[in-house]
Amino acid sequence: MFDWPTLVESLPLLAKSLLVTLESSLAGLGIGFVIGVLVCSLRLSLHPLWRRLGGAYIFVFRGIPLLVQLLFIYYFLPRIGLPNVSPLAAAITGLSLAAGAYIAEILRGGFLAIPEGQLEAAHMLGLSPLDVLVRIQVPQAVRLTLPALINEMILLIKASSLISVVGLAELTRTAQNIAASNYLFLQTYLVLALFYCLINIPLACAGGLLERRLKRRLA
C-alpha cells in the first residue's frame, strides 16, 4: 500500500511549493502586521472619522472570506482598470489585507492595556506620535498579545492553502497534483500534513519561549 520510493521522487516538487507557501504567508504576515498596527491606531484614534475608517476596514476584510478576497483581487481588479497583478502579488495582497484586519483586532486589547500615563510621559519628552507608536505602544502591545498573535500566524499559514485559487502552486495544491498523478493519496497527504506541522510546531515553540522570556522581564 505504501510506495515510498515513488513518493520520494516528488519530494523536491513538494519542497519547492513549501517555499511558495512560506514566502507568501510570511510576506502576508509582515505586511499584515504593519496594516494591523495602522488600522488599530485608526480604531483607537480620537477622531471619529478615523475610528470609523478603521472599523470599516475590519468589517470588510474580516467579514469577506479570504477565498472571495483573493478571487476579487486577481480577477476583478484588472477588469476595473488596475494593471494585471501576478499570482504571487495577488496572493500576498489578499493574505496581507486579511491578516491586517485580524491583527488589528488582536493588538487593540494590547494597546488599551498600556496606561495612558506612559504615553503622556512620552509626549512630555517630545517623542513624535510615530515614535510613541513604534517605540512605546507596539512593543508592549505585541508582548501583551503574543499568544493570540502566534495563533494568528499559524492560522494564516494554514489559510495560505487558499492562494492556489489564483493559480499558485503552493503546498496543498502541489500535493493534490502529485497525488492525482501517483495515486498515493493517503501517503502524499500524510507527508503534506507533516510539512505543515514542520512549519507550525517550531513557530509555536519559539512563540512560547519568547513569551516566557518576556514575562520574566515584565513581571
Partner 1 sequence: MTVTKTHRPALALRGVGKRFGSNQVLHNIDLEVQSSEVVCLIGPSGSGKSTLLRSMAFLEEYDDGEVFIEGQLLGWEPGLPRKRTSRAHLNKVRSTIGMVFQQFNLWPHMSVLGNVTEALIRVRRIASGEARQRGLAMLEKVGLAHKADAYPAQLSGGQQQRVAIARALAMEPHIMLFDEPTSALDPELVGEVLHVMKQLAADGMTMVVVTHEMGFAAQVADTVVFLDQGQIVARGSPQKLFHMTQHPRLQQFLQNYLDRNAFWQDMKEEATA
Residue with cell 494591523: 36
Q: How far is residue 135 CA from its own chain's centroid?
A: 22
Q: Is 121 in the site for partner 1 (CB under 8 A)?
A: yes
Q: Is 9 in the site for partner 1 (CB under 8 A)?
A: no
Write the interaction track for partner 1 spanning residues 101-120; mark x where CB under 8 A is met and - where it is not: --------------x-xx-x
Residue with cell 477622531: 47
Residue with cell 500534513: 193
Q: Decide: 164 and 173 in contact? Cβ < 8 Å.
A: yes
Q: Is 125 in the site for partner 1 (CB under 8 A)?
A: yes
Q: Decide: 147 and 20 in contact? Cβ < 8 Å.
A: no
Q: At what angle do helices 171-182 and 4-43 cross, to 10 degrees?
A: 160
Q: How many other C-beta atoms can be found within 10 angstroms of the C-beta atom of residue 61? A: 22
Stretch that binds partner 1, among 35-43, 90-98, 127-135, 145-153 (CB under 8 A): 127-135
Q: Is 198 in the site for partner 1 (CB under 8 A)?
A: no
Choice from 78, 113, 123, 201 touching partner 1 (CB under 8 A): 123
Taking the complex as a whole, how short is the minimal distance between the CB of residue 198 and partner 1, in angstroms? 32
Choice from 30, 139, 147, 202 touching partner 1 (CB under 8 A): 139
Choice from 15, 135, 147, 181 touching partner 1 (CB under 8 A): 135
Taking the complex as a whole, how short is the minimal distance between the CB of residue 131 and partner 1, in angstroms? 5
Instruction: Give the torsion sign (CA, 149, 153, 158, 162).
Output: positive
- By beta-carbon proximity to partner 1, the closer residue of 134 and 198 is 134
- By beta-carbon proximity to partner 1, the closer residue of 6 and 45 is 45
Instruction: Give the torsion sign (CA, 160, 157, 198, 2).
Output: negative
Please give the backbone phi and psi of residue 125, each rounded to the nearest 5 degrees, phi first.
-85, 0
Choice from 1, 46, 124, 194 touching partner 1 (CB under 8 A): 124
- Chain residues in the site for partner 1 (CB under 8 A): 115, 117-118, 120-129, 131, 135-136, 139-140, 143, 217-219
